[in-house]
Amino acid sequence: MPQLCAALGPLESQKEDRTLPLELRRNTPGALARREASSAFASAEPVLRKYTPDHVEGPGADTDPTQAVFPGCACTTAPCLPGTCSCLRWQENYDDHLRLRGIGAEADHAVPVFECNIMCQCSDRCRNRVVQRGLQFHLQVFQTDLKGWGLRTLEFIPKGRFVCEYAGEILGSSEAQRRIHLQTIHDSNYILAVREHVSQGQVLATFVDPTHTGNVGRFLNHSCAPNLLMVPVRIDSMVPKLALFAAKDILPGEELCYDYSGRFLNRSDGEDKDGLDNGKLRKPCYCGAKSCTAFLPYDSSLYCPG
How many residues bind ligand SAM, per CB under 6 A?
Answer: 16
Closest distance of CB 306 from ligand SAM, Å: 24
Residues 6 or more apart whose Cβ sits within 8 Å of residue 230: 166, 194, 242, 243, 244, 258, 262, 264, 265
Q: 14, exposed or middle or buried, with CB in 10 Å at 0-12, 13-18, 19+?
A: exposed
Identify the residue among 40, 61, 122, 243 touching Zn ion (CB under 5 A). Answer: 122
CA distance 121 to 291: 47
Question: Which residues inside 151-170 make contact with ligand SAM, applying CB under 6 A?
Answer: none
CA distance 41 to 57: 20
CA distance 256 to 220: 6
Contact region with ligand SAM (CB under 6 A), list: 28-36, 83-91, 156-164, 215-223:
215-223
CA distance 246 to 258: 9
2 cis-preceded (ω within 30 degrees of 0):
no
Nearer CB in complex with ligand SAM: 71/284: 284
Instruction: Report the residue number whose CB is nearest to ligand SAM.
Output: 148
Identify the residue among 26, 159, 195, 222 touching ligand SAM (CB under 6 A). Answer: 222
Produce one character per residue of 124-153: b if its CB has 16 or more CB atoms within 10 Å, e if not: eebbbbbbbebbbbbbbbbebeebebbbbb
> Which of the choices ligand SAM, Zn ion, none does residue 230 contact, using the CB cut-off of 5 to 8 A by kind?
none
DSSP state of 108: H
Closest distance of CB 89 from ligand SAM, Å: 32
Please tell me whether residue 188 binds ligand SAM under the rule CB under 6 A: yes
Other C-beta atoms within 10 Å of 276: how many?
12
> Which of the choices ligand SAM, Zn ion, none does residue 218 contact, using the CB cut-off of 5 to 8 A by kind?
ligand SAM
Please tell me whether residue 37 binds Zn ion under the rule CB under 5 A: no
Please tell me whether residue 113 binds Zn ion under the rule CB under 5 A: no
Q: Length of the chain, please?
A: 306
Please tell me whether residue 80 binds Zn ion under the rule CB under 5 A: yes
Nearer CB in complex with ligand SAM: 101/222: 222
> Which of the choices Zn ion, ligand SAM, none does residue 80 contact, using the CB cut-off of 5 to 8 A by kind?
Zn ion
Which residues are at the interface with ligand SAM (CB under 6 A)? 147-150, 188-190, 218-219, 221-222, 283, 285-287, 296
